[in-house]
Structure 1
Amino acid sequence: PLTTNLTEEHTVAAKKQEHFRVGVIGYGGAFNMGQLHLTSMAKNEGVQVAAVCELDAERRQVAEEDFPGIKTYGRVGTMLHNANLDLVTIITPHNTHAKLAVQCLNAGVHVVCEKPLAITSAEVKRMQAAAKKNKVLISTFHNRRWDGDFVVLRDLILKEQIIGRVFRIEAGFYGYGEQGTWWRSNRKISGGAIYDWGAHFTDWILNVVPEKITSVSGYQVKNSAWKKYDNEDHSEYTLRFHSGCTVTLTMSNLSMSPRPRWRVLGTQGAIEDAGGKYLVKTLINGRQMSTEVPFAESNWDAYYENIFAHLQGRADLVITPESAGRVIGVLEAANISAAHGSVPIKPAFV
């Protein structure tokens, strides 16, 4: 696949490191993601949870209770200078990812960023350049690459090729109601509504259609009656690939009419998400046949299993900086296109 080939500068696995001191930047209580990341990392042999950097003193105390013996810090520079870390995961608002990542990479520390990797392609290029210069790893926490529903969908399309050549995909979330009033609904901080779940969906799309991108067209609507935030309420893009395959992703909290999470059309069948299972229609001996395929179990711990296996020289990196960069290129192009009358845009990373 296009997104899994390692270039020489990212083959840090040759170092075959066996022991890792790890930490996180950000230990907020909204989803307890700091605890989730550190717990998942600690399941791997040779990993020591060593440090947390968090502005809120009360949350630093929570971290100390969650992981007795760790050191906590209020400033990133202080942690990097004193904690002797090998890897740090950044769990902060989207518009801070690039600056913090470059700071850590320049300190010679491997970096994992919560998704999205960044907001702009320019930020991605700075992050990739810093990783290359300092010979360290940069990756994004696309843990949902191991979601059970996606694993089944990918295998049905690419491994089993049960519906033939895919030419049309419609995907997304649909609902109706105001967004919450926090940083995720602030467009300057978040990048826009499509940078949240849209980052996961885009990563999925780019993996079930492993082709070069030709263009992205964006379309966005803001409900003027909802004035507490400036994120768009309906955001969609249409992504066109070299083969002609066309994908429309919609992230909407302005849609009273629901649609399936996935609808995939192929030359020999179709797949539709039915919640907990896929409805699959295909041709067998010239006859149209229908079946149901249940979702598999998800395994989010597989993300860090791969990170540390890669750093120990035992595996190729799955979520490469190149694959993470392509996601940001698409989201950025969608925003630019939407602001210019939905004109097709070629993303920074095709």
Structure 2
Amino acid sequence: MYDSTLKTGICSYGMSGKLFHAPFINAHPGYELAAIVERNNNDSRERYPHSKLYRSVEEMCADKNLQLIVVNTPTHLHYQQAKLVLQAGKHLVIEKPFTITVKEAEDLSAFAEKNNLFISVYQNRRYDGDYRAVKEVLQQGLLGELREAEIRYDRYRPSFGGKQHKEGNLPGAGILYDLSPHLVDQAIQLFGFPKAVFADVWKMRNDVEAPDYFEILFYYEKLRVRLKATCIARESTYAYTLHGMKGSFLQQRSDMQEQQLQAGVKPSLENWCPAPSAPDGLLHTELNGEVVRKETTSSPGNYMGYYDDVYKALTGQGANPVPAADGINNMRIIEAVLESFASGKIISL
């Protein structure tokens, strides 16, 4: 299955590089973490001394040995650096959000298709254990015809975190570009592409320049889906709430992979992250003619599944887990959200 090795480089060694990319690429038998970009520091030398250290993305793109490059830099740099990667003839994994605009996303996709290059958007939350628990409940039809759903991503960060590209006055900054790509992607995967969108986007904290709250309503023929995120939720609630004609399912955001990675745990192909230590879901429905109300516990997720799927796609063993088309649809939603907020109207898609 892993007869060849993909020589891979990553464009940044900040949080995403340290936690979500380098450990998985390094641990997977089908990859070689061959290059890392750090503009000023040498932090990667401690863990990955075997990789080449470059001081710019341009310099790394000139490395003829690299086959795949991960663009995991701030959002406002995505289009420019992804274009450099593709122009250098490299395959591309790009962090969410794909780009800032639909036009940019479509341009990258068209360039890659024309030049027979691979693009995959890093939507790692498809590999969260909590999301997969929700997906399984829906696949089993345990709730009957679904009529209402909510997916939320709440944090407690009452003051500015210090990163301008996250919360400052830069294109692509703010919670809409940071967190909504996760929720939008999950909603489309679970329920399909919506017919229309209505949205509210707000800046609730005084010391940030970018929006830190959103509420998005997806319209389907017989379903409404609400996506929501805030930065001032000290008390958390269920991340997923689903109501069908037969029953309801509530699921906490309980996946522990990020915490384990922050603690220095090394990932692997097998389940390396523990399951929640206590029940994290609640199913209240009708099974075999009887009303059942029971607690549930999700299985561990594994972000290694994403890189394994990318490897299989690049070696002809499987499909692209998150093709450019998925990223383009995500950008279509974000543009519709901004249009809805600006106009106060429902935007048809």
Pick the TM interval, shorter chain: 0.7 to 0.9
Taking the aligned partners of 1:139 and 1:331, their CA distance within structure 2 comes to 19
| Counterpart check, 1:309 vs 2:289 | no
Instruction: Tell me if structure 1 keeps the 8 A contact 2:30–2:311.
Output: no
Alignment match, 2:142: 162
Taking the aligned partners of 1:288 and 1:187, their CA distance within structure 2 comes to 52
Task: Return the match for 2:115 from 134, 150, 157.
Answer: 134
Q: 1:335 to 1:178 in 2, by over 3 A?
A: farther
Task: Using the aligned pairs only, state the percent identity.
Answer: 24
Instruction: String of CA shifts for 1:243-263, please: whole Å, max 9, x gaps.
Output: 331111111125577542111
Matched residue SS, 2:98: coil
The residue type equivalent to 1:278 in the other structure is G
Matched residue SS, 1:282: strand
Task: Return the match for 1:33 from 9, 17, 41.
Answer: 17
Taking the aligned partners of 1:311 and 1:271, their CA distance within structure 2 comes to 37
Task: Return the match for 1:151 from 129, 132, 148.
Answer: 132
Instruction: Give the TM-score, by structure 1 length.
Output: 0.85
Q: 1:149 to 1:134 in 2, by over 3 A?
A: same
Task: Return the match for 2:251 from 273, 276, 279.
Answer: 273
| Counterpart check, 1:200 vs 2:182 | yes
| Counterpart check, 1:261 vs 2:239 | yes
1:69-88 → structure 2 map (5 Å cutoff): 69-88=50-69
Q: 1:323 to 1:21 in 2, by over 3 A?
A: same
Matched residue SS, 1:188: coil
Alignment match, 1:8: none
The residue type equivalent to 2:184 in the other structure is T
Quote the offset at 1:101 in angstroms. 0.6
Alignment match, 1:344: 346
* Structure 1: segments with no counterpart, 5+ residues: 1-15
Alignment match, 2:27: 43
Instruction: String of CA shifts for 1:108-167, please: whole Å, max 9, x gaps.
Output: 101111121112111110111121122111111111211111111101112x11001212
Matched residue SS, 2:171: helix
Alignment match, 1:5: none
Alignment match, 1:330: 333
The residue type equivalent to 1:333 in the other structure is A
Taking the aligned partners of 2:54 and 2:63, their CA distance within structure 1 comes to 10
Taking the aligned partners of 1:234 and 1:96, their CA distance within structure 2 comes to 23
Taking the aligned partners of 2:38 and 2:225, their CA distance within structure 1 comes to 39
Quote the offset at 1:93 in angstroms. 0.5
Taking the aligned partners of 1:218 and 1:345, their CA distance within structure 2 comes to 9
Alignment match, 1:248: 226
Quote the offset at 1:69 in angstroms. 2.8
Taking the aligned partners of 1:254 and 1:41, their CA distance within structure 2 comes to 34
In the alignment of these two chains, the number of paired residues is 321
Q: 1:98 to 1:26 in 2, by over 3 A?
A: same
Quote the offset at 1:100 in angstroms. 0.7
The residue type equivalent to 1:180 in the other structure is G
Taking the aligned partners of 2:129 and 2:53, their CA distance within structure 1 comes to 35
Quote the offset at 1:287 in angstroms. 3.4
Tell which deviates more after alignment, 165-174 or 294-303: 165-174
Instruction: Tell me if structure 1 keeps the 8 A contact 2:309–2:320.
Output: yes
Q: 1:40 to 1:155 in 2, by over 3 A?
A: same
Matched residue SS, 2:291: strand
Quote the offset at 1:52 in angstroms. 1.3
Taking the aligned partners of 1:87 and 1:215, their CA distance within structure 2 comes to 36
Taking the aligned partners of 1:290 and 1:297, their CA distance within structure 2 comes to 23
The residue type equivalent to 2:324 in the other structure is P
Task: Return the match for 2:151 from 168, 171, 176.
Answer: 171
| Counterpart check, 1:95 vs 2:97 | no
The residue type equivalent to 2:331 in the other structure is I
Alignment match, 1:236: 215
Instruction: Give the TM-score, by structure 2 length.
Output: 0.85
Alignment match, 1:55: 39
| Counterpart check, 1:120 vs 2:101 | yes
Tell which deviates more after alignment, 267-276 or 171-180: 171-180
